[in-house]
Amino acid sequence: MTDEPKVYRTAYIVQNTGHDFQELLKVCDNLRFMSNGYEPENEALDTLITGLQGFDPEKDLIVPVGNVTLNVLLGLLLPRICDVSQYFTMAVFYEKQYHFKVVSFEGIQCTVISGVNNAKS
């Protein structure tokens, strides 16, 4: 029996909040925490830039949790990291499951794809 390939390479999680992110491993090979939550506010931008190294919007996804300042800065950074014609995928946990939203920078167009098993078409 062979394992099916994962839909995403890495889940880039903004902050380690203590939430159990193991469910994401059903669709991702790796979990990467960009912040532990104890960095000083004046280092927030550098923390994110370092944390996003290696991010590929076509292979990875973003999980915006934790510190509001970090998440706002992330929203400002992503258009600079991704080509403006590209998109990125965001995983949001609500109603006891992850929902995946594909966000385009040509007008934010969110498509909700519910359920871990249907993460990407």
pLDDT value at 46 more than 90:
yes
Average pLDDT in the 71-80 region?
A: 90
Is residue 3 in a domain?
no
Average pLDDT in the 12-16 region?
A: 96
User: What range does the domain containing 27 cover?
Assistant: 8-118
Q: Tell me, what's the pLDDT at 121?
A: 42
Considering only residues 118 and 69, tell me which one the structure prediction assigns the higher pLDDT.
Answer: 69
Structurally, the chain folds into a number of domains equal to 1
Q: What is the mean pLDDT of the chain?
A: 84
Helix (H, G, I), strand (E, B) or coil at 38: coil
**What pLDDT band is residue 119 in, cutting at 50, 70 and 90?**
very low
Is residue 50 in a domain?
yes
Is residue 110 in a domain?
yes
